[in-house]
Amino acid sequence: MNKENFFNDVYEVTKLIPEGRVTSYGAIAKYLGRTGSARMVGWAMNQAFSEKGVPAHRVVNRNGLLSGKAHFSEPDMMQQLLEAEGIEIKDDKVVDFQSKFWDPSKELL
């Protein structure tokens, strides 16, 4: 699988994350059969702004931290987008992360 195809697959999964939910880089990688490729999912998210309709703000690290926030146009844009969807953020982390977590391996059966 080449990088471009992988990135496109990541974007397609990301588009399926429901509003008000979040997932992790690792969960997307696992769903795509690429366990251990969470960092590549992160690279895809860093470039997602050139793709229409990819809600990159809904992808966080495995602990619920907004680790990709530096790649948004404004430093607090990722938090603002999540809060607009009803997700509470405290100290750059999703509050009650487990209840907001969307696992594509379970949800997309």
Delineate the domains of the chain, giving CATH numbers in brackets: 3-97 (1.10.10.10)
Q: What is the separation of C-alpha 4 from the centre of its chain, rounded to a whole number of angstroms?
A: 18
User: Token digits for 70?
Assistant: 């530096």
Instruction: Specify the pLDDT at position 49.
Output: 81
pLDDT in tens, the chain (109 residues): 577 799 999 999 999 999 999 999 999 999 999 999 999 999 999 988 878 899 999 999 999 999 999 999 898 999 999 999 999 999 999 999 999 999 999 999 8
Instruction: Specify the pLDDT at position 96.
Output: 97
Distance CA 90, CA 34 (A): 31
- pTM for the whole structure: 0.94
Instruction: Specify the pLDDT at position 1.
Output: 57
Q: What is the separation of C-alpha 33 from the centre of its chain, rounded to a whole number of angstroms?
A: 17
Looking at this protein, which amino acid is placed at residue 92?
D
